[in-house]
Structure 1
Amino acid sequence: MTAPAAGPVIAGAPGPGALTLGRWAAETLGVRLLVAVVHPAPAALGSGRVDAEWVADRHRAAERILDEARKALEGADADYRAVASSSAAHGLHDLAEETGASLIVVGSGRDGPRERLYPGSTADRLLAGSVCPVAVAPAELATPPGTLGVIGVAYVDTPDGRAALAEAAKMAGRTGARLRLYTVVAQGDASLPFLIGQDAERAFLETARETYERSLEAAAASVPQCDTDWRIVPGDVVDTLAELDEVDVLFCGSRGYGPARRVLLGGVSARLIRRARRPVIVVPRSG
């Protein structure tokens, strides 16, 4: 394995899904895995001894969680760290900036269906401004990543889409997995205003499909190091992408505006991470 070219993969708020995905991502990218548990820091206006005792108790609880992670990851090349912060998301943000993290992996929220993504408040806050890609994993991965041999990309020809493609190509190139690009187009008159006319609508959809085909062909050609194919799928974009079960992970961009090099969820990615069957990796724009 080549020497690490970037910072670690951080598995935060670890559960079985996050640990499994984090370990696979770290091994795939050739970087170390850093398992982190964030616990409360002393309050600036705390109540003295009571506050200190409570913080110490939370620190011990974090260490117990890390011990459980060590057992689950026996044999993994990993570091473990308890981080004190005002919130889990803030602590993971700071840790990512400190270490130059390649990826942050978090698990789904406790209230979510076991086989679906449903990020809790930590994931929601983390996704609103991370400096590196963020992966959200189901609580339990019925099919471990790396089993299916396909890395998916929700692709549109925008800076966000190209950033997602670049990150997905790195992972596909290292695993030898097929890289598959998906563009979802609306069906029927969902694309056009009411009463536009069926002939005009059909002509519009045919022109749109030709445009998508050209952009997908160009995108596939831009990553010659990967075995790449693409698909244009009719339907609702969130519903269609959420139901994909043929990919190890699905990469998507964050949004078309906002600060560069930060994850800021747009409408599609925000809904997708709550409903997708497979792990989703949200990628910030590169610049």
Structure 2
Amino acid sequence: MTGPVIAGAPGPGALALGRWTADTLGVPLIVAVVHPAPAALGSGRVDAEWVADRHRAAQRVLDEARDTLGDTAEYRTVASSSAAHGLHDLAEETKAVLVVVGSGQEGLGSTAERLLAGSGCPVAVVPGDLVEAPGGLGLIGVAYVDTPDGRAALEQAARLATGAGARLRLYTVVSEGSTPLPFLHDAERVFLETARETYEHSLAAAAASVPGVEADWRIISGEVVETLAGLDEVDVLFCGSRGYGPARRVLLGGVSARLLRTARRPVVVVPRSG
């Protein structure tokens, strides 16, 4: 039995992407709202009343989600010290295949950042202004480099593309400063041309390695984060996490952290496969 997709409500974008992904992968959807757990050392009645009020507020959020999704999901409230901890614990308990959260009204938001710092499963972050489910363009993107992290992102993206009947496109962004210029010495020019040939070879091999999925690739010149964040031709963009740290954990590097704050489309950060 494959684990569920967890949509961390609130947010119409997280609900829409969560339902679409669960349907595509053929797995259950759990909509979860985290509320504060009673403090070990609290102020008695005041503390208990505040916790009860937060629980009622979480239940109202779930009721709104149920109005949107109906009986297509399971609905849970989770008591925890923080939203990130609650979603993390639920993901581990259920062996979730994906956790989906919204970026919120204030940028990425502390919940998404804390959840991403060490999650054992892929985490999707949906831009706050995105409310519709993907699928219209049928194109899933992968920010690809030929490393264990890049290959892990490709593997997860291919699984979603297979279920959705979508196309797959791999992107490698080459810094504008790496573009050969007329005044470069011959040795520098050869080095840069060789590097581009290496990118082309690894991209072609990676695209060909995905069975049953129509896949192509692009090499784009530009600033890495800005270029990836501006990709509005894709429904979802997959990227790997930092290439070191605990196995099977998401560790945000500089590129992925900045990308999550500026991307126009949902970004799925995949744990390293180590």
After TM superposition, the structure 1 stretch with the greater mean CA deviation from structure 2, 132-141 or 236-245, is: 132-141
Alignment partner of 1:34 is 2:21: no
2:80 maps to 85
After TM superposition, the structure 1 stretch with the greater mean CA deviation from structure 2, 22-31 or 181-190, is: 181-190
Alignment partner of 1:21 is 2:17: yes
1:169 maps to 158
1:264 maps to 251
SS at match of 1:53: helix
- 8 Å Cα contact 1:189/1:201 also seen in 2: no
2:66 maps to 70
Change (3 A) 1:143 1:78: closer
Query: What's the CA shift for 1:48?
Result: 1.1
Alignment partners' CA distance in 1, 2:45 and 2:68: 35
Alignment partners' CA distance in 2, 1:67 and 1:189: 52
1:215 maps to 202
Alignment partners' CA distance in 1, 2:155 and 2:225: 22
SS at match of 1:73: helix
> For 1:54-133, what aligned pairs fall within 5 Å after superposition?
54-74=50-70, 76-111=71-106, 118-133=107-122
Alignment partners' CA distance in 1, 2:6 and 2:163: 19
Alignment partners' CA distance in 2, 1:206 and 1:239: 23
Alignment partners' CA distance in 1, 2:231 and 2:131: 14
Where structure 1 has 5 or more consecutive residues not aligned to the other structure, the ranges are: 112-117
Match of 1:157 among 113, 137, 146: 146
Alignment partners' CA distance in 1, 2:65 and 2:72: 12
Alignment partners' CA distance in 2, 1:176 and 1:189: 35
Query: What's the CA shift for 1:143?
Result: 5.5
- 8 Å Cα contact 1:109/1:121 also seen in 2: no
Query: Alpha-carbon deviations, 1:29-74, whole Å to 9, x = none?
Result: 1111100000000111111111111101100000000000011213
Count of aligned pairs:
273
1:52 maps to 48
Query: What's the CA shift for 1:198?
Result: 4.5
Alignment partners' CA distance in 2, 1:201 and 1:28: 47
- 8 Å Cα contact 1:248/1:278 also seen in 2: yes
Alignment partner of 1:145 is 2:141: no
Query: What's the CA shift for 1:203?
Result: 2.2
Alignment partner of 1:252 is 2:239: yes
Alignment partners' CA distance in 2, 1:190 and 1:14: 44
2:2 maps to 6
- 8 Å Cα contact 1:16/1:140 also seen in 2: no
TM-score by length of 2: 0.95
- 8 Å Cα contact 2:97/2:121 also seen in 1: yes
2:175 maps to 186
1:114 maps to none
Alignment partners' CA distance in 2, 1:45 and 1:166: 46
- 8 Å Cα contact 1:35/1:66 also seen in 2: yes
2:230 maps to 243
Amino acid aligned to 1:205: L
After TM superposition, the structure 1 stretch with the greater mean CA deviation from structure 2, 131-140 or 274-283, is: 131-140
Alignment partners' CA distance in 2, 1:91 and 1:254: 22
Alignment partner of 1:43 is 2:39: yes
Amino acid aligned to 1:24: W
1:285 maps to 272
Query: Alpha-carbon deviations, 1:131-182, whole Å to 9, x = none?
Result: 1000000223265311111010000000000000000000001111110000
Alignment partners' CA distance in 1, 2:120 and 2:252: 13
| Identical-residue share of aligned pairs (%) | 77
